[in-house]
Amino acid sequence: MSKPNTGTRFSGSSDKSRSLYAAAMRYFERVATLGSIRAASRDLNVASSAVNRQVLWLEETLGLSLFERVGRRLVLAPAGEILLAHVRRTYSDFDSTIGELDALQGLRRGSVTIATVESISEKLLPTLISRFRQTYPGIHVSVVVSSSDEAAGLVERGEADVGFTFNPPERAALTISYSVTLPIGALMVPDHGLNRPGPLKLVDCMRYPIVLPTKGMSLRSHLDAALAQVSTPLRTYVESNSLRFMRALVKGGNVISFQTKVGCEEEIESGELVFRPLSDRPLQDDRLCVVTSARRSLALSAGMFYDHSVSYFRAQLLADDANSAS
């Protein structure tokens, strides 16, 4: 039994959206998020008995138990988890609809939630958002930085409108709207012993201290595939789920890390770090993707951001290698 996600936040036009939704569903969502009838009643500013009646009515109508009591908390039963996912998708759809109605009134308001991996958040995304807001200053932008899998999951669950991720899973609920293939290379300081002309393979790097991304990261899956073809024993210097931290270790001396150029642009341009592509076949096709939900259309504000982001990525990430999904 998983605990309800207490980190979910509603912003922008969500208060209006929630007021439009049936009381039973609103009360259920508060109980699920806060874990108790009493906490929900305080948050809603209504009597506990009223909240309890609405939840009981839902359970009687559906013929299913929505909660289980664990200690002093109420946690979601399987039926409750399904219903909560529906409620959150509905809130998100309401927010999008209200944003579109506001736009029709000439208010140019709305919101877009973005899920992104760390490397995109380093340089590409800040510039992208700054340019977007120059054209659409009234649109509220929320950004969640997470792993590749979680960024795709947020879009799939309707908790984000647009996702920037690497190698997303092939699922019916996701649409890969745009993608570009990027090679993985070795990052090192300019005076490193491997910074010399000629091809470079992963096995060459293993003679030096290396820092690996943790398992579960997109980069690690490609590296593991390449390592499976190497007989040399792996001697990992350190593992981390932070690309920025890995680059900091590289700057400290003889250490090598493995990344794409995305997120390292400034260090490479300044000469602080050197990026050397690796010739191992599994490291040639790390695929950066823009993903959207296949289950609902983008709202006007999110659609504006998506169009803006695709145009920007095409200009920045070698358009000849990019391909748009039809």
Residues of the chain with CATH 1.10.10.10: 1-91
Q: What is the mean pLDDT of residues 313-323?
A: 60
Give the full edge-to-edge strand order of the sheet including 256-259. Answer: 236-240, 210-213, 256-259, 185-188, 274-277
Report CA torsion sign: 127, 157, 14, 103.
Answer: positive
CA distance 256 to 279: 16
Residue 162 reports pLDDT greater than 90: yes
Residue 58 reports pLDDT greater than 70: yes
More reliable by pLDDT, 8 or 220: 220
CA distance 293 to 281: 31
Work out the pLDDT band at 105, boundaries 50, 70, 90: low
Judged by DSSP in three states, 177 sits in strand
Work out the pLDDT band at 165, boundaries 50, 70, 90: very high
CA distance 72 to 85: 23
8 Å CB contact between 189 and 273: yes
Q: What is the mean pLDDT of residues 81-92?
A: 84
Residue 318 reports pLDDT greater than 70: no
- How much is the pLDDT for 322? 38
If you classify domain 184-284 with CATH, what class do you get?
alpha beta
8 Å CB contact between 132 and 308: yes
Question: How much is the mean pLDDT over the chain?
Answer: 83
- Identify the burial level of 162 via C-beta atoms within 10 angstroms of its C-beta, where 0-12 means exposed, 13-18 middle and 19 or more buried: buried
Work out the pLDDT band at 2, boundaries 50, 70, 90: very low
Would you mind telling me the total number of residues written for the chain in this entry? 326
CA distance 106 to 104: 5
CA distance 166 to 151: 9
- How much is the pLDDT for 191? 93
Of 78-87, 100-109, 145-154, the poorest mean pLDDT is in 100-109
User: Percentage of the chain surpassing pLDDT 90?
Assistant: 38
Residues of the chain with CATH 3.40.190.10: 184-284
CA distance 200 to 219: 18
CA distance 288 to 306: 15
Reading the block at residue 252, the tokens are 């400290």
Look up tokens 């980069």; give the residue.
219
Of 12-26, 121-135, 209-223, 295-309, the poorest mean pLDDT is in 12-26
User: Percentage of the chain surpassing pLDDT 70?
Assistant: 86
Q: What is the DSSP string of 31-52?
A: HHHHSSHHHHHHHHTS-HHHHH
CATH of region 1-91, choose from 3.40.50.2000, 1.10.275.10, 1.10.10.10, 1.10.10.60:
1.10.10.10
Look up tokens 């695709």; give the residue.
310
Reading the block at residue 149, the tokens are 């899998």
Residue 93 reports pLDDT greater than 80: no
Residue 135 reports pLDDT greater than 50: yes
